[in-house]
Every structure is written in C-alpha cells, then in structure tokens.
Structure 1
C-alpha cells in the first residue's frame, strides 16, 4: 500500500518534474517518451514493476535444463563385424521370426545406414535423459556438450533393440515416445519408437540441421566419456 508523501518528498517530486519538463523543452528529452512514462505512473498502480524499477518484483522463473537425467546403461564390448543390412530388416506381424521386431525403416535410415559395416566396439556406459521441452537436434547436442565421443554406434543401438526385441519394458521407451541417438560425426540423428499397432520398432533418421522437433518426454541417449 502506498504511504502518504512527506513535505520533503513532495518538494523533491515537484523539483524532478520541473527539471524533466525543462529538459524536454530544451530538446534533451523526447516529449512523447516523457508523456508515456508519466501516463504509466498516473494510470498503473504497478508502474514500478512495469518500468522495471521495483526491487520487490517477482523474478521470472528460471528455464529448466533441456535434459533431465534418468539413468545409465552399460553396453558390453561387441565383437565381430556388424553388417547393418543384415541386422536391420523388417520383421513384424504374423510371419515375424524370432529376433528384433522391426515394423518400419525410414528412407533416410536405409540410405545412410544400411550400407554400413561397423568394427567391434568397446564396453560403453550410455546415459539417457528426458527431453523437458520440444526441441531441435542442435540445441539438444549443445546441451550434451557437442562432444564427438557422445555418439552411439549403430551396433549399440541394435544391442538395445535386442534387449527389448518384442517391445518389452526396459531402457528404451516402448510407449510410442522417441528414443534419440546421434551417430558418429554428430551430423545425423537416429530415432527409434515402438509401434504398438504393428508390433514392431520404427527406425528412422534425419539430419541434425533439419527443422524436425523432438517431443517433450522423448529420451536422449549419449555415450559417456571413456
């Protein structure tokens, strides 16, 4: 609640007002801007907050981190050569064979990744986090530190799929939300979602320079430093 002004405060206010008007008259202050400020003071009880001068104003809520840590998983050392075309094959429906059920392979994934043959990989600790807001790949990578060694190898993604080959609960989200991985080089993202209607995993890929936004609740995977 405003307090009653003292005689000294009234005198100071009058002096300030007179001085401001004289400055505006002499061209040292813009008349329209002065009028606008005075109008705010006259009409708005919370003028101090509006003018950004109220030390008691409530500070804006801090923006939460983009990534909320959830857990880690250790992927064992994987020996032998890994031929992506032999592993990532459609396998779903009534004719599905034992193994990873895959219901969809995106065009980009087929073009960019199926020709790959990977060499053995060492044991790796992989962290996974929840995306707290919808975002593009580049800000996500920035939140991860843009470390080249955060990338996940294709065979490591496949190992995770093998652990939940039929969409069982586990490290990967199996409720339709996305699981996000960044391939070596950090120029391409690989997405994995469980497709309950077809009973299989959807595997797709895109450029990190694209405009596709991942959704709140999606899970981001990154390899920890060795």
Structure 2
C-alpha cells in the first residue's frame, strides 16, 4: 500500500489532543496509552515525537504560555506593560486551568515560557528596576496570576439562598455570586493587579529607580 501523503501524527496533533484531554478531565487523565487511543494510533507512535509523558505536559504548558502577549515590554512603560501582560497571562491560563499546576512549576527548558520570562525581566531592568527586584516582580506576578486562574471565588458558593440565611447574616446574597462569576472574578483580579502595580510604583518612586533613564 502507498504511504499516506501526510503523517498520522505530528507534535501539533499530540499537543492539541493532550490539551483537550487536560481541559476535560485534568492532568491525571493524561497517559501515552490514553492519548494514543484518542488519536487512533498505537502508543509507541507517540515516542517518535515525545520521549515521556512529562515532555507532552511541558509542550502543552508551553503552547499556552506562547499565547501570552509580551511585546509590550519592549515599547511601553513598565506599569502599563505589567498590567497588559497580567491580563493577557490570566486570560491564557483561565482558558486552561487544569494545566496551571504544571505550568506554575516554572519555565524549566520550555522555550515559550523562557521567552516570556526574558521579556518581563528585560523590560523591568531596562526601566530601572534592580535585577533582584525584577526577579521578585516576575515571581510575584506568576503567583498572583496562577492563583487567580486556578479557581473561581464566585463558584465557591452554592446557589441556595436558604443555606446562608440563618447562620451567616452577612452572606445573605452569597448565593448570587455564581451567576455573576465572570464579573466577580475578573473584577477581583483587576482590583488586585491595580493595587499591586500601585504598590510597586510607590517603591519605584521611593528608591528613584527610574531617575537616570533616558526617554
């Protein structure tokens, strides 16, 4: 029989299948056997593209990190860049919350994640932040964004008004939070990000980190 014109497998197909599986069932659902079944191939076929399951998870995490906008660090003041990056970062993670625990381990050898770290660190140092503080800000943002994307505060309440009525007098409207999930969770993230940047700006101005910059 002639060979198919296109290979049955590619890295892109494997990453897409793994992403869909993680989104639907979580990290624990991923195995080479399960992925092979989803793709309609034999398990050993995957090893032509990825040596281990962890390599697949890294590739999924990196494909999501690559969706985050980072160009603003080359063109915008650090406050504006940090805010835009924070929102882009959260949007990418919130669309795939089940991968967040793996992605939050750090960039490792993942090129997309390393490009993001390089852009953020380089942009902050270029704006006058000391290298140690730039590192702290990058870490702080990762903690903040990952935590925000990992779960929903609003979805943590039950939609039963009688549950709160007697014992929790200050939570009589808490049953309404789930129906306003997006506005609650995004509003909380925006408030926190603005407060974080305001606090960093006070430090930046107090120590005069930007006084010698040439605009």
- Give the TM-score normalised by structure 1: 0.23
Structure showing greater radius of gyration is 1
- Give the TM-score normalised by structure 2: 0.24
Structure richer in helix, relative to its length: 2
Structure richer in strand, relative to its length: 1
